[in-house]
Amino acid sequence: MTEARVSQRLNKMQRLQMLEQALKDKAPQTYLKLKTSGRIESFLEKHDEEMMESFYRAYGEAYYQILLKNGDKGKTEQALELEQIEKFNDAVATWKDFRDPEDSKTTIKK
């Protein structure tokens, strides 16, 4: 649970660094292409924006459902906090899943 709580507190700069590292690690050709063309910053900014939009959308839906179900304020606050952490981590996991296009991989055929 500690890891989830830490990830929830990431600021924008930390999220951009996290996304950049994931791109470097998982899609090195794409990273290099964006870096050399000078488009890496705009790519990361847009990706972060889309990631946060997906988080807010998913959390908003869950938030509404939790408020409808729970009458106990303490349980509601706890459920909202846990749901927020879960939705944020889901968004991060989804949006860090980079892959190079298949045609960018060099293969040697014999």
Rounded Cα–Cα distance for residues 109 and 93 (Å): 34
**The Cα angle at residue 51 between residues 55 and 49, in degrees rounded to 5:** 115
d(C-alpha 54, C-alpha 85), whole Å? 14
Query: For residues 12 and 48, is the Cβ–Cβ distance under 8 A?
Result: yes
Residue 50 confidence (pLDDT): 94
The mean predicted confidence, pLDDT, of the chain is 84
Cα 110 to the chain's mean position, in Å?
40
| Predicted TM-score of the model (pTM) | 0.74
Mean pLDDT (whole number) for 34-47: 96
pLDDT at residue 103 greater than cutoff 90: no
pLDDT (tens digit, 9 = 90+) per residue, 61-92? 998 888 888 777 788 888 998 999 999 999 98
Place of tokens 């900014």: 45
